[in-house]
Amino acid sequence: MDRGLHQQPRKTRLTGRSGALRALTLSLCLSTLAMPVFSQAILEGERFHPASASHGMVATSHTLATEVALKVLENGGNAVDAAVTAGFALAVTQPRSGNIGGGGFMLISKGDGSEPEAIDYREKAPTGATETMYQDESGEVVKNRSRFTHLAAGVPGTVAGLAMALDRHGTLPLKQALAPAIKLAKDGFIVPQRFSEGLEQARERLQRWPATQATFYKEDGSAWQAGERFRQPELAATLQRIADEGVKGFYQGETAQLIVEEMERHGGLITQQDLEGYQPVVRAPVHGSYRGYDIFSMSPPSSGGTHIVQILNILEGYPISELGHNSADTIHYMAEAMKLAYADRSEYLGDTDYVDVPLKGLTSKLYAEELRQDIKPDKARPAGEIGPGQPPGYESPETTHFSVVDKWGNAVSNTYTINFSYGSGITVQGAGFLLNNEMDDFSAKPGVPNAYGLIGGEANKVEPGKRMLSSMSPTIVRKDDRNFLVTGSPGGSRIITTTLQVIMNVIDHDMNIQTAVSAPRIHHQWLPDEIRIEQGISPDTIRLLENRGHKVVTNSAMGAIQSIMIGEDGTLYGGADPRRSTSSAMGY
């Protein structure tokens, strides 16, 4: 257990919504239906084709990161070497989410069938953080204090997490994994359309901070345009210090000092001790099963794995394959199951170093069966019947996921973030990187939603040194101890449901990985009480859902899920999400 900071974490015992839940143990009484026969190879005539290769595959949200990671595989590196290289490269080429100022989770499942491992490098609340730090004297939450101020930043975990992954499972020295990122920062790269559009959209928020303006905009304040070369000399120097000194080159010395000075100038809380005390944690992933497949996904402090397994457990009781992809019946059952899971999330989930989470109960088949009893086939249950809350709005989000498989069958699934696009918007002066605003993932006050409309309570209150609850769900599905599907997504609260649907698209609907990634998605998170759908769900289906009492709202694209599937003959299939114009899957 991580007790990295000087503060001793306290364990709070939570009382359950149903006493039965806590008493439940993992049960193997499956209501498994007939298993599908797989044919997800590339089929001529299909509308979406995955990349295919036989030795290695990388899928990321930025082509330049995909390329440098693929090169590592081609040169004999393993999946962890390639993933860490991609992680640092994305910190340069995709500053809206790729980062060294944030945190995330990496799931590693070796080709030898040994137990998968999760590296938790989620940010932590600084030692000076308090439960009410985002409230005024009368207890009201102060808008944006947890999002756009120096108090929004958690202690960054990315550098320590990527270094730990490399140390435990990689073959490359850290210096070598950083080399492509340093080159991209120093020499610059040609910016794609999406890069300049992002900077245009966030201009007002970012240009409040002189260091952000100087780092990411031209001298006249205009954004870098598609086709122009963008260089980041300060970031190159920061990365070089890590290459020269290891993690100490970030958590101590000049970079640490620049972070602390930035905090001191603006009333932030991160101290030298917070930085020096930061430790990533090796955790056991959540393990569940779905129709004969093993599902491994992220354990707390992410809620992702728990609720993916919980929703799959509920859905296993329905003949989803027969009901059909995105039919009204399937969407109805998915939405009902999602509501129940997100209601539980608001009550039970938090950092297990601080609170007890009834993980076994939440992910048990027996509990799913109990929940299923209350789902009606022809009628939506109003969210109010399940739990209380206020319908909130959404903020523009950005996180990034990448998946890698190497020639030994080792798989890495990594999601990391600075929370919003460009995080807090605050660049550490002199160090050239953005700070996260992950503190907004804590519950600023019980019942008050975060930026993704997620409600939290006691389990996810702010405490010094605690990790804020996440939805990030790096996931690896195995069949008979062999890695089969490597997947994960950005999307805030929608990460869980996005990842869930790609798993279902492959297992229930027998889609090839590119079709599974591209297919229109739906989302329900209990509150607000509505099904969000992407374009591409038929008006007939929407009407059928409305007739059952669902509110259906068309949403913009949800998630950006970069996935790899391994065929029975070992062929690797990559599916990059077309929802991000810079996504790519490449193999060799």
**Positions in the binding site for ligand DON (CB under 6 A):** 397-399, 417, 419, 438, 441, 470-472, 490-492, 495
Give the shortest CB-507-to-ligand DON separation in angstroms.
24
- Residue of 257, 267, 266, 278 lying closest to 124 (CA atoms): 278
Min dist. Cβ of residue 96 to ligand DON (A): 9
Query: Residue 24 or 527: which CB sits closer to ligand DON?
Result: 527
What is 498-546 written as a DSSP string?
HHHHHHHHHHTT---HHHHHHS--EE--SSS-SEEE-TTS-HHHHHHHH
Q: What count of Cα atoms within 13 Å lies in the side-chain half-sphere of residue 187?
A: 9
- Most distant pair of Cα atoms in the chain: their distance: 65
Buried b (16+ CB within 10 A) or exposed e, 222-236: ebbeeeeebebebbb
399 has catalytic annotation: yes
Q: Exactly one of 399, 415, 417, 427 is catalytic; which is it? A: 399
Q: What are phi and psi of 413, to 5 degrees?
A: -125, 115
Residue with tokens 């300049």: 196
SS (H, E, C) 366-394: HHHHHHHHCCECCECCCHHHHCCCCCCCC
Cβ atoms 318, 333 nearer than 8 A: yes
Query: Closer CB to ligand DON, residue 256 or residue 469?
Result: 469
Distance CA 157, CA 4 (A): 12
Burial class of residue 383 in the structure, from the number of CB atoms within 10 Å of its CB (0-12 exposed, 13-18 middle, 19+ buried): buried
Asked if 444 and 131 touch (Cβ cutoff 8 Å), the reply is no
Residue 139 burial by CB count (10 A; 0-12/13-18/19+): exposed, middle or buried? exposed
**Neighbouring-strand partners of residue 566:** 572
The identity of residue 317, as a single letter, is G
Report which residue type is found at 562: Q
Residue pointed to by tokens 């062929």: 571
CB-CB contact of 336 with 377 (8 Å): no
For 186, other C-beta atoms within 10 Å of its C-beta total: 16
Cα separation, 260 vs 75, whole angstroms: 39
Per DSSP, helices labelled H in 383-456 are 383-386
| Cis amide linkage into residue 180, ω under 30° from 0 | no
DSSP H/E element including 297: strand 293-297
Which residues are tagged catalytic?
Answer: 399
